[in-house]
């Protein structure tokens, strides 16, 4: 086959490949430089160039947008405080082999490590597969780092990208944090763009594994996978990179969406956008000799008792819930601290099904909420186990999904709660780790698709199996609605990535935004952030605060109306008024 005919064939499949040395008839002869010319979605030319050093250049037209040499390094330094960077690319031999007009293989061979890279090109995309063989007879590779390309952004790029300094990366890595899926990295894909071009990245795997795209300095691309390769063993890694003049984030992340959908499929629950109500049953501040479990206005340990509104106890609580649900068109209530606060601590409790005897006696009274056609929800803490650390104090350890006894104990707790009529859950201190996702898969399988759950922490993968919990409030400093953990931007990506996903958030006002989080001491933010936000909120004029209810609906977030507050009645009325615009009929 002539060289010109090979080029014509390449253009017919979406690009062109050239080598500066002629290939043999079967297209597998060594070559020193490989060039693939692709056509982007907008018709612009994308040029990928590789040598035996790796992928060395990407051009859009005449503009070089990436350069370097893509190779592998040992990643143990990411996971250990005393680790050093291990350059494994100083190989005894490097070869390049053209397999097809859109496919080139590059092999780096050394005394203890051999890496075989396959680059498959299609238009503006390249799929990179690397088989890493660890020839060291004694030492395992605990992580690998692929790196070597520098992107020529004009200034600081925008997008969804991790740009920590190396000390932060190592601090996270030593705790096995930072990798997707985690609180720090909610999305497995990544993209970056300036005013001229964009880059989209996707990991590729058959089942979920921790990965990280790290953009050192916002330009130097690293793909880090903390996956062990034992002595004498091998492992294959893969990723996709899209380079395009089209800087739209949906376009850049489309390869990730295709991979995500193929790997995880659709959501496993039935979303219902109708509002929820919520009620925190107990609080540390109310604990006393007469009230050892810290019950708030309604005492779950007494069937009848006076309330601040002149009511008579549990029957009035049921009436309050059902009235709020009717007024708001809400689907039900989720209780926080349904067990009451435990003097041993660890509230909200991991043993969420264990009720004080007097509460156990009154629990059937809550079924009247179900009889009124409303959901009855509870708080659970499925990622942890309570264990004594002193005579009067508990602490927690994490549940491990590979421990069958732990998992069966956890699932039986949900079974017992279901027997009491509970059919919705807020899942506290849970949802954003690799193991939490595996636990949630088992919980969802046990609950089925009809029981809504909302995890305090979440990632794109966890949201396949459970809805998300957010904590929205008004930031008077920036004069904008803000989520406490700054997750509104990734939430927008995930809504596009995963149709049918659901989130809930309490409806707050400027005066008491984030008050629950202050009380719960969940201050996982940079020092000073809360103090600044609190001061700004205190100065906010409520008349200038746009409707938080409308904002939640507009952003696909289900509002939660807190029962027992002065704002509950007007918020219920507002929810009902907005329902025709935003809410379909519930199931």
Residue 399 is assigned to a structural domain of this protein: yes
Can you list the alpha helix ranges (DSSP code H) found in 388-541? 404-419, 434-447, 488-497, 515-520, 529-538
**CA 566/CA 176 separation, integer angstroms:** 44
**CATH number, domain with residue 291:** 3.20.20
The predicted structure's pLDDT at residue 306: 74
Three-class DSSP category at 135: coil
Is there a single domain that holds both residue 326 and residue 237?
Answer: no
Can you list the alpha helix ranges (DSSP code H) found in 301-403? 314-328, 357-362, 367-371
Give me Rg for the CA atoms of the chain: 28
Is there a single domain that holds both residue 256 and residue 282?
Answer: no
**Ranges of the chain whose pLDDT falls below 70:** 1-31, 81-91, 307-312, 476, 508-545, 584-587
Cis? peptide before 181, omega within 30° of 0: yes
Is there a single domain that holds both residue 425 and residue 295?
Answer: yes
Is there a single domain that holds both residue 251 and residue 322?
Answer: no
Task: Select from 161, 145, 147 the least CA-distant residue to 199.
Answer: 161
Which residue's structure tokens are 């690293």? 222
Task: Select from 548, 504, 519, 452 the least CA-distant residue to 296.
Answer: 519
Q: Bin 99: left if φ > 0, else alpha if -120 < ψ < 50, else beta.
A: alpha
The predicted structure's pLDDT at residue 508: 67
Between the alpha carbon of residue 303 and those of residues 59, 318, 336, 376, 399, the distances in Å are: 74, 11, 19, 18, 35
The predicted structure's pLDDT at residue 1: 45
Is there a single domain that holds both residue 202 and residue 287?
Answer: no
Q: Check if the beta carbon of residue 161 is closer than 8 Å to that of residue 138.
A: no
**CA 209/CA 238 separation, integer angstroms:** 12
Which of 263, 296, 313 is the C-terminal boundary of a domain?
263
**Strand ranges in 251-407 using DSSP code E only, listed in sequence order:** 276-280, 332-336, 375-380, 384-390, 393-398
Is there a single domain that holds both residue 338 and residue 423?
Answer: yes
Is there a single domain that holds both residue 178 and residue 296?
Answer: no
Q: Check if the beta carbon of residue 483 is closer than 8 Å to that of residue 471.
A: yes
Is there a single domain that holds both residue 209 and residue 285?
Answer: no
Q: Bin 173: left if φ > 0, else alpha if -120 < ψ < 50, else beta.
A: alpha
Is there a single domain that holds both residue 358 and residue 484?
Answer: yes
Is there a single domain that holds both residue 257 and residue 281?
Answer: no
Domain that holds residue 429: 276-582
The predicted structure's pLDDT at residue 38: 96
Q: What totals of helices (H) and strands (E) does the chain contain, helices first?
A: 14, 28
Is there a single domain that holds both residue 292 and residue 204?
Answer: no
The predicted structure's pLDDT at residue 5: 44
**CA 105/CA 96 separation, integer angstroms:** 6
Residue 504 is assigned to a structural domain of this protein: yes
Is there a single domain that holds both residue 150 and residue 297?
Answer: no
The predicted structure's pLDDT at residue 541: 54
Which of 229, 263, 297 is the C-terminal boundary of a domain?
263
* Number of domains into which the chain is organized: 2
Residue 2 is assigned to a structural domain of this protein: no
What burial class does residue 279 get, using C-beta atoms within 10 Å of its C-beta: 0-12 exposed, 13-18 middle, 19+ buried? buried
């Amino acid at each position: 086959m002539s060289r010109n005919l090979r080029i014509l064939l390449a253009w017919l499949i979406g690009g062109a490949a050239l080598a500066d040395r002629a290939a043999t008839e079967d297209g597998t002869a060594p070559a020193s430089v490989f060039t693939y010319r692709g056509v982007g979605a907008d018709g612009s030319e994308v040029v990928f160039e590789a040598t035996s050093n790796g992928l060395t250049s990407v051009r859009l037209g005449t503009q070089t947008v990436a350069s370097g040499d893509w190779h592998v390094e040992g990643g143990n330094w990411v996971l250990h405080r005393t680790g050093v960077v291990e350059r494994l690319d100083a190989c005894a031999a490097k070869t390049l082999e053209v397999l097809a007009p859109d496919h080139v293989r590059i092999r780096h061979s050394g005394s203890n490590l051999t890496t075989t890279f396959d680059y498959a090109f299609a238009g503006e995309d390249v799929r990179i597969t690397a088989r890493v063989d660890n020839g060291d007879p004694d030492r395992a590779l605990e992580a690998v780092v692929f790196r070597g390309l520098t992107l020529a952004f004009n200034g600081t790029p925008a997008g969804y990208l991790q740009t920590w300094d190396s000390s932060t990366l190592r601090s996270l890595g030593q705790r096995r944090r930072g990798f997707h899926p985690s609180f720090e990295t909610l999305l497995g894909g990544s993209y970056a763009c300036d005013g001229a071009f964009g880059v989209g990245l996707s990991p590729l795997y058959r089942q979920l594994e921790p990965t990280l795209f790290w953009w050192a300095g916002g330009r130097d691309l690293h793909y880090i996978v903390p996956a062990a390769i034992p002595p004498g063993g091998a492992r294959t890694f893969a990723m996709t990179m899209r380079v395009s003049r089209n800087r739209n984030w949906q376009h850049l992340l489309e390869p990730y969406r295709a991979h995500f959908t193929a790997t995880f499929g659709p959501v496993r629950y039935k979303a219902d956008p109708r509002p929820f109500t919520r009620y925190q049953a107990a609080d540390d501040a109310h604990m006393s000799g007469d009230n050892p479990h810290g019950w708030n206005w309604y005492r779950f340990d007494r069937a009848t008792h006076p309330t601040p509104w002149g009511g008579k106890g549990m029957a009035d609580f049921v009436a309050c819930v059902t009235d709020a649900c009717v007024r708001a068109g809400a689907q039900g209530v989720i209780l926080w601290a349904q067990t009451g606060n435990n003097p041993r601590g660890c509230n909200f409790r991991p043993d969420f099904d264990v009720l004080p005897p007097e509460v156990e006696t009154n629990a059937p009274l809550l079924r009247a909420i179900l009889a009124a056609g409303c959901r009855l929800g509870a708080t659970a803490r499925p990622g942890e186990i309570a264990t004594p650390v002193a005579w009067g104090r508990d602490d927690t350890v994490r549940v491990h999904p590979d421990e069958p006894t732990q998992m069966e104990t956890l699932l039986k707790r949900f079974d017992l709660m279901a027997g009491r009529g509970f059919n919705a859950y807020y899942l506290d201190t849970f949802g954003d780790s690799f193991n939490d996702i595996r636990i949630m898969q088992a919980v969802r399988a046990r609950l089925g698709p009809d029981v809504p759950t909302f995890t305090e922490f979440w990632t794109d993968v966890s949201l396949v199996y459970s809805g998300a919990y957010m904590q929205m409030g008004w930031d008077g400093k920036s004069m904008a609605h803000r989520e406490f953990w700054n997750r509104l931007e990734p939430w927008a990506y995930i809504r596009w990535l995963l149709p049918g996903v659901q989130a809930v958030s309490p409806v707050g006002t400027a005066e008491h935004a984030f008050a629950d989080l202050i009380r719960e001491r969940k201050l996982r933010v940079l020092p000073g952030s809360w103090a600044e936000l609190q001061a700004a909120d205190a100065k906010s004029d409520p008349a200038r605060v746009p409707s938080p209810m409308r904002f939640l609906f507009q952003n696909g977030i289900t509002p939660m109306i807190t029962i027992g507050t002065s704002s509950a009645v007007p918020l219920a009325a507002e929810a009902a008024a907005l329902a025709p615009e935003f809410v379909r009929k519930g199931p």
